[in-house]
Structure 1
Amino acid sequence: MTLPDFPIRTLLPDLLATLSTQTRLVLEAPPGAGKTTQVPLALLGADWRGDGKILMLEPRRVAARAAAGFMAAQLGEPVGDTIGYRIRFENRVSVRTRVEVVTEGILTRLIQDDPTLDGVAAIVFDEFHERHLAGDLGLALALDVQAQLRPDLRLLVMSATLDGEKLARFLDAPRLTSAGRSYPVEIAHYAARRDEALLFQLKRCVEHTLAAHPGDVLVFLPGQREIGDAERLLASLPNDIALVPLHGELSMEKQSSALAADPDGRRRIVLATNVAESSVTLPGVRVVIDAGLAREPRFDPNSGFSRLETVAISQASADQRAGRAGRVAEGFAYRLWPQSQRLEPMRTPEIAQTELTALRLELAAWGSDALRFPDAPPSGALAAADELLQRLEAIDGDRRITAFGRRLLALGTHPRLAAMLLAARSDDERALACDLAALIEARDPLTGPRRDDWQSRWHALAAFRTPRGSHRGSGPDRDKPVPSANTGSLAAIDQAAKQWRRRLRCEHVSPASIPAHLLGDLLLHAFPERIARQHPGDARRYQLANGRMARLLDDSALYGEPWIVASELRFDAKDSLVLRAAPLDEARLERDFPARFVERDFVRWDVDTRALIARREKRFDRIVLSSKPAGRPDPALAAQALCEAVADLGLASLPWTEGLQQFVARVRCVRQWFPDMALPDFGEDALLATLATWLKPALSGKTRLDALSESELGDALRSQLDWSQRQKIDQLAPTRLTVPSGMERAITYVIDDHGQAAPPVLAVKLQELFGLADTPRIADGRVPVILHLLSPGGKPLQVTQDLKGFWERTYPEVKKEMKGRYPRHPWPEDPWTATATHRAKPRGT
């Protein structure tokens, strides 16, 4: 097999030699080096491979197909023979396949289904700089497999724009760097006119480019919608110019066509998303026009999903895009943003800015949270994922995956959508659930007035499928007009629904009409925390299953519905706004979630009366269905409710005394001074977090917070310490200290604003310290106190931790000033030898 002459070719012997002795390697190679298509083929000849497969992770479907096709062509074989690929809803592999290009979700499933990776010799992570969540998870899983089960497994991480040194340190791996094949590219910023829209700026730039430069033009736009708008705006260009779209939703044939030269020899303008940024080759491109935008996933709290948002690209992406103009000859790149605009240096990892429900479920299926990620997942996002997965019954209270959770994973989509798809009971419901999954994942197809109901969107889809738009819904909606919608969007949604039906082996055609509540009956399984019941006193307000309140739009199509499930909410401090929802059948809710309907006594704290109220309530989750007085509350429930009140009101709601505050400060000081003692944390946050442990027993039998006495609060605090710990605290942090006058004086312990132990304070009259040379110390002599030296009248004279220095340098001045003011008190010339006293001199002396 003779490989084409790509720049990476000179590095392949070093790469193979390194992987013959090392099991991990980082390869940095710029666009055009040939790494995507030449490295996997080179690995086929490695001795360590044996008959094992090479899996190559490719983040994008377009690139996965293109890479597999190019490699297969080099071998003179069809795709599916030695070289194959697997992407969502498409599989071109066979028993003969030895290089398998897979997209990110596919790799995760392969590892989860067979942790030993039997028959796999190496995994290649291509374009790792894109830092997709699934790519990070795939690498973390592969590292765990290598560490635990397959020390022989080779892991090769490749990237064009990446901090290779940092990644090599993380992987404890060697690093190789390849040159690229590129020509000089001149970069210019094409200025927009005042108030000019991006697409009109783009049109002017395209017209200028066609007149000023040779070769094909590659235009980077953020998404399919902008590509369609640009196609329409540029339709008036001469016939010898071909407009070619390139994005992930195109058919395989159209994608392949976009990656080839025009068959009629016309000059091309390729309108592409960032799928063209790397891993695909576009012949003939001499000019790049870059809008500087991309669609990237961001967590949308309104929907509970990560949504694609239009964001500015990173500087690394901008450089990579510009480099596309220099692949065949000198090129030119126009940037449609001001030169003064500064871009972030590198792309932010997806794991840091998206929701993590799917990731958390994968970790539960793997059985370990100890995976190593290049960037650790945020703890807050993981906690939110845990809460949702428990509601979906995908994990148990110990975060272990349930049998149902494994069924969700097998569908390869977001756990919310998977739960909805699995909830369907009949063929009609399964087909309808596939429609809903496609609608939820897609951009809103409606183009007319704002609508907040799912019914109108499904009606638009059903009408699209029906010749001449004869569909008019069902029930009360039968005579309503079908909402106006974008036919291109509906076509993509219809295709996605068909793919879901194939995935579920659902041969049933979507129903022609449906009951008004059926969409909600399915959606409630995807959004269990957003099931909502109409407020008895306000028809536009709803109480959600998570305890929050929501309200309908003033022109809502859902007005009057007793129960709804809200798939999208705009969160507010008081009432969230329902953006999209569907009505549901309460009887279906009771059949599907009987365990969530409960009737028992609930005890809560009433802010107005500052006392507990006990009621017998029937609830669905936190939605109160009925309520009546329950008499005297159960002591255990009362104690729990009072603890919850303290958690809301803060520790200041308890009967603190100065002595108790000092006790807490003493414990905190000793804990910091002697960490080996392993004392419990008495900080405010820690005490609030452990109320059930130390405070709840003291509240047993009480119905008001003011019934807790100061002594009971003290006993509750001290209950966290055993006898020996209390004795040690009294020894190391005494409340009082005997001074040379023979009197005991109080020590004040201080915790600063940052929670750190400050030096304790001893306030004492100066005359009581005569004869004492050094500053007193506590905590086995480790901690000097701060002396607040007082006048005979109790006024502060000096603050010091250096008593010796005070006697030597400051005392003479103090004596001179104070002697006339307090003549009946001793002011000796020599404080070192004078007798300490707390009394004035006898009269006449």
Structure 2
Amino acid sequence: MLPEIRQRLAQHTRLVLEAPPGAGKTTQVPPALLEAPWLAGRRIVMLEPRRVAARAAAQFMAQQRGEAVGETVGYRIRFESRVSARTRIEVVTEGILTRMIQDDPTLEGVGALLFDEFHERHLSADLGLALALDVQAGLREDLRIVVMSATLDGERLAQWLDAPRLASEGRGFPVRIAHFPARREETLEHQARRAVEHALAGHPGDVLVFLPGRREIERVHRALEQARPPLRMQGRAGEGLRSTTVSVAASPPPGLPLHAQGEEVDVLELHGDLPVEQQARVLQPHADGRRRVVLATNVAESSVTLPGVRVVIDSGLAREPRFDPTSGFSRLEVVAIAQASADQRAGRAGRVAEGWAYRLWPQSQRLEPQRRPEIAQVDLAALALELAAWGGGDLRFPDPPPPGALASARDLLRRLGALEGEAITPLGRRMLALGTHPRLAAMLLAPQDADERALACDLAALLEARDPLRARIDALHTRWQALAAFRAGRTPPEASRSALAAIDQAARAWRQRLRLDARPPEAAPAHRLGDLLKFAFPDRVARQHPADPLRYPLSNGRSARLFDDSALYGEPWLVIDELRHSDRGDAPILRAAPLDPARLERDWPERFVVEDRVVWDADARAISAVRERRFERIVLERRPLAKPDPARYADALVDAVRQLGLSALPWTDTLVQWRARVRCLRVWCPEHPWPELSEGALLATLDDWLKPALRGLSRLDALDARAFADALIGLLDWSLRAKLDALAPTRIAVPSGLERPIEYGWDDAHDAPVAPVLAVKLQELFGLADTPRIADGRVPLTLHLLSPAGRPLQVTQDLRGFWERTYPEVRKEMKGRYPKHPWPDDPWTATATHRAKPRGT
């Protein structure tokens, strides 16, 4: 297939390549393109979605050439680079490709961009591809773009890219699928242990176990350390799994090595937090051929090759990013995988021979067909900053970013100082260069003092990491104190040593990234953390409520609440980095730090304002005129205004209507009918410029049509019905008012010589007109053959034909049909009941009347 790939890229600048895991696309395609004439000695850059896979791919390709990593083949990932002037194949990950394109839009020296494992639909890959297409369209027509995938709708992607598509079936062997259900109330680690014991006893080769993340891997590892030799099986391997027929001998003392029928087995872990040496060990077979059980995240789902695997055990779970409003970041959540991922994981068992895949979920459980793209479910602040730096938001994405999420992201960037309007600021460009979430970047760049910058590095590492404390404590300072104690050689009992070690390493990497020689302080007051944290969370600065010590209004206008046993009780000011999102009531505060209000005012004096406000008080249902001192939307002081500006009352009353709705206005029946007539004619006679009178449209334009009528008033109930009607009717000019009366009259003449009202209506549920109704006594329509119509004859009236007592006899829009078919029956029934009223045999020629028959007839 490699010759065909070279041929297609000689003819086209884009290509979609589909091949299953193990087909060689990651490690065979880049070297195969090195001597292509169109490359002309330039570099190939391949985007790899995971750090483990990026290192492994570069190391494999380098070994194939008999070279060290960093010569012809190298890699760059966050905080680590192995490239040189001789490097021609560069494997990059995370935001590295985006930085390359932003820093050099011409991509000088780069001849091809390869997007590996694109089916994972990471946001960085979507953005990188969108930028690459823009570069290709405007600056580099010769740039080759190859999108490589294992499980993706390649035809759809090829059509979107306007690119040829190549597909390879790969070299897989058959894999038998079985479901290995959990026992009642069984934990994942015990179910996985039973499945591993079953696989080792019944199948040859290594076992690959897919688990959501590091935490689950550690739990399963501990469970396997207590595995119990020897294993005894009932029935042949793979039979009876739904009834769980596996049985094992009694458990030995804990700590013994895992055995498979007396054979010692290695249990290894594979995840992104492992040191490079341990990752390399997992990717190589055991030197003496010993069997292995590899506990892996979905990093092993694609990109990396694990030799010797014959059995896959799949939890059906993965940790994927989801936007978490509690923290303001995208967090990893345990979710069910898609069917495409399940198929790909199972395929790992068929790389060297026939294999088995055991799924730890019921066979009845149905999975989503494809993985949802990250762009649809993560925080978009970083994306919005990248788009602003690029100079426009009209890039082509396979799935466009949701407009609401993108707008919220831009609002946050303006608070952080990264945007002014839609344009990126100098601070925004510095934030972008750090390659982290804009919140953290703003915090890392804010302090001028070296010690505070080192402390900010600690905070960034703490916020990015998993919580090092085992107990629920809402004080961020407690976590930092645990980190300081770890550095001094005394890990607190309530903290995880491994978690603190990872945080310390990440903080050190941040100091190196910022070229910072200063070390973090050995001790720091709690408010010093908050003084820095506010630069990341300006929207979550909070002040204690004067009447409720547990309640904290936030600078974004919302409100949060401490737990009763909070370690932060009594703090007058907080900055909250994590809270539990709530649509009702105060959001519980999960983690925060106190801050110094004097420092807050020194850092952000422009956010403290004094303003005279004349507003509608919804609780009091009256206008409130006060002078307020505020930090953003937190009211610090409020005093009544002695002489408020009368002109501002109208604004407050308009706000009242926005809050209360149009029903708060003095509607009359006549005005309700007038509004319905106009709304109906927008549908019936759209050739005329009728105004939009829906509730949303009227509320959106209150300043235009209602505010003039409110001037001089101080109460909403002082607006009388006549003034309100004049304001609303004023939305129609004189020519439209005449057309309204002609096309949708309020009354219509009937054959009896009288005029009867027409009733109009609007169906809000379906946002459509209701058929207009003419209610009239049957005798008043004698001699009329056809149903009356309005709106230039386009709309028939719905006739409510009434008895002499005013009760409905028939509802119809077909008067002719009524006279011909229904009237004889009605006449027969009604003539005896209402003998004083005419019931002629021939209604066509009878005289219409609204009266009873003359006496004596």
User: Do these two structures clear the TM 0.5 threshold for a shared fold by scoring above it?
Assistant: yes
Distance change >3 Å, CA 145–CA 761, structure 1 → 2 = farther
5 Å-filtered alignment, 1:250-329, equals 250-329=274-353
Contact 1:245-1:271 at 8 Å conserved across structures: yes
Match of 2:23?
33
Greater alpha carbon shift after TM alignment, 333-342 vs 712-721? 712-721
Deviation at 1:128, TM superposition (A): 1.5
Match of 2:236?
none
Match of 1:450?
472
Matched, 1:427 2:450: yes
Match of 2:392?
368
5 Å-filtered alignment, 1:405-424, equals 405-424=428-447
Contact 1:28-1:158 at 8 Å conserved across structures: yes
Deviation at 1:52, TM superposition (A): 4.2
Match of 1:465?
487
| Alpha-carbon displacement from aligned partner over 1:350-393 (angstroms, at most 9, x marks no partner) | 22222222222223333333333333333332333233223223
SS at match of 1:263: coil
Deviation at 1:402, TM superposition (A): 2.9
Distance change >3 Å, CA 663–CA 153, structure 1 → 2 = farther
Match of 1:382?
406
5 Å-filtered alignment, 1:73-472, equals 73-235=63-225, 236-238=256-258, 240-396=264-420, 398-447=421-470, 449-468=471-490
The one-letter code sitting in structure 1 at the alignment partner of 2:508 is K
Matched, 1:528 2:530: no
Match of 1:479?
none
Deviation at 1:679, TM superposition (A): 4.2
Q: Percent identity?
A: 69
The one-letter code sitting in structure 2 at the alignment partner of 1:242 is D
Gaps of 5+ in 2: 226-255
Distance change >3 Å, CA 680–CA 52, structure 1 → 2 = farther
Contact 1:293-1:312 at 8 Å conserved across structures: yes
Deviation at 1:342, TM superposition (A): 2.5
TM (norm. structure 2) is 0.91
Distance change >3 Å, CA 666–CA 37, structure 1 → 2 = farther
The one-letter code sitting in structure 2 at the alignment partner of 1:237 is P
Distance change >3 Å, CA 806–CA 23, structure 1 → 2 = farther
| Alpha-carbon displacement from aligned partner over 1:397-435 (angstroms, at most 9, x marks no partner) | x43333332222222111111111111221111111111
Distance change >3 Å, CA 715–CA 175, structure 1 → 2 = farther
TM (norm. structure 1) is 0.92
Match of 2:521?
511
Distance change >3 Å, CA 98–CA 761, structure 1 → 2 = farther
Matched, 1:545 2:555: yes
Contact 1:610-1:704 at 8 Å conserved across structures: no
Contact 1:552-1:578 at 8 Å conserved across structures: yes
Q: How many residues align?
A: 821
Greater alpha carbon shift after TM alignment, 178-187 vs 818-827? 818-827
Contact 2:134-2:395 at 8 Å conserved across structures: yes
Distance change >3 Å, CA 763–CA 117, structure 1 → 2 = farther
Which of 697, 708, 711 is equivalent to 1:700? Answer: 711
5 Å-filtered alignment, 1:740-755, equals 740-752=751-763, 753-755=765-767
Deviation at 1:727, TM superposition (A): 4.2
Gaps of 5+ in 1: 1-9, 470-481
Match of 1:762?
774
The one-letter code sitting in structure 2 at the alignment partner of 1:525 is F
Structure 2 distance, partners of 1:721, 1:388, is: 41
Matched, 1:24 2:14: yes
Structure 1 distance, partners of 2:426, 2:739, is: 51
Contact 2:268-2:282 at 8 Å conserved across structures: yes
Matched, 1:624 2:647: no
SS at match of 1:428: helix
Deviation at 1:280, TM superposition (A): 0.6
Match of 1:477?
none
Greater alpha carbon shift after TM alignment, 319-328 vs 51-60? 51-60
Deviation at 1:720, TM superposition (A): 4.0
Structure 1 distance, partners of 2:577, 2:224, is: 38
Greater alpha carbon shift after TM alignment, 673-682 vs 707-716? 673-682
Distance change >3 Å, CA 534–CA 181, structure 1 → 2 = same
Which of 606, 611, 620 is equivalent to 1:600? Answer: 611
Structure 2 distance, partners of 1:569, 1:526, is: 15
The one-letter code sitting in structure 2 at the alignment partner of 1:698 is A
Greater alpha carbon shift after TM alignment, 84-93 vs 58-67? 84-93
Structure 1 distance, partners of 2:621, 2:367, is: 54
Contact 2:207-2:313 at 8 Å conserved across structures: yes
Which of 495, 498, 501 is equivalent to 2:505? Answer: 495
Structure 2 distance, partners of 1:148, 1:730, is: 58
Deviation at 1:674, TM superposition (A): 4.4
Greater alpha carbon shift after TM alignment, 68-77 vs 313-322? 68-77
Match of 1:578?
589
Greater alpha carbon shift after TM alignment, 775-784 vs 801-810? 775-784
Match of 2:250?
none
| Alpha-carbon displacement from aligned partner over 1:587-636 (angstroms, at most 9, x marks no partner) | 11101111111111123323454211111111111211111111354345
Which of 575, 581, 594 is equivalent to 1:565? Answer: 575
Structure 2 distance, partners of 1:243, 1:122, is: 40
Structure 2 distance, partners of 1:15, 1:637, is: 71
Greater alpha carbon shift after TM alignment, 497-506 vs 161-170? 161-170
Greater alpha carbon shift after TM alignment, 406-415 vs 451-460? 406-415
Structure 2 distance, partners of 1:264, 1:299, is: 46
Contact 2:224-2:258 at 8 Å conserved across structures: no
Structure 2 distance, partners of 1:784, 1:771, is: 18
Distance change >3 Å, CA 608–CA 216, structure 1 → 2 = closer
| Alpha-carbon displacement from aligned partner over 1:100-159 (angstroms, at most 9, x marks no partner) | 222242222233333444444333222121122222222333334444444444332221
Which of 777, 789, 792 is equivalent to 1:777? Answer: 789
Structure 1 distance, partners of 2:757, 2:301, is: 72
| Alpha-carbon displacement from aligned partner over 1:731-772 (angstroms, at most 9, x marks no partner) | 433333333444333222222221112322222333333333
Contact 1:459-1:483 at 8 Å conserved across structures: no
The one-letter code sitting in structure 1 at the alignment partner of 2:480 is W
Match of 1:56?
46
The one-letter code sitting in structure 2 at the alignment partner of 1:534 is Q
Contact 1:189-1:338 at 8 Å conserved across structures: yes
Contact 1:140-1:371 at 8 Å conserved across structures: yes
Structure 2 distance, partners of 1:98, 1:631, is: 76
Distance change >3 Å, CA 409–CA 177, structure 1 → 2 = same
Distance change >3 Å, CA 365–CA 766, structure 1 → 2 = farther
Structure 2 distance, partners of 1:119, 1:730, is: 74
SS at match of 2:534: helix
The one-letter code sitting in structure 1 at the alignment partner of 2:774 is L
Distance change >3 Å, CA 785–CA 443, structure 1 → 2 = same
Deviation at 1:843, TM superposition (A): 4.2
Contact 2:136-2:142 at 8 Å conserved across structures: yes
Structure 1 distance, partners of 2:362, 2:552, is: 47
| Alpha-carbon displacement from aligned partner over 1:280-322 (angstroms, at most 9, x marks no partner) | 1111111212222111112222111111111222221111111
| Alpha-carbon displacement from aligned partner over 1:321-344 (angstroms, at most 9, x marks no partner) | 111111011112222223333222
Distance change >3 Å, CA 807–CA 400, structure 1 → 2 = farther
Structure 2 distance, partners of 1:830, 1:120, is: 94
Structure 1 distance, partners of 2:209, 2:790, is: 73
Structure 2 distance, partners of 1:578, 1:184, is: 52
5 Å-filtered alignment, 1:672-687, equals 672-675=683-686, 677=688, 679-687=690-698
5 Å-filtered alignment, 1:731-746, equals 731-746=742-757
Structure 1 distance, partners of 2:752, 2:106, is: 78
Match of 2:841?
829
Match of 1:475?
none
The one-letter code sitting in structure 2 at the alignment partner of 1:195 is E
SS at match of 1:341: coil
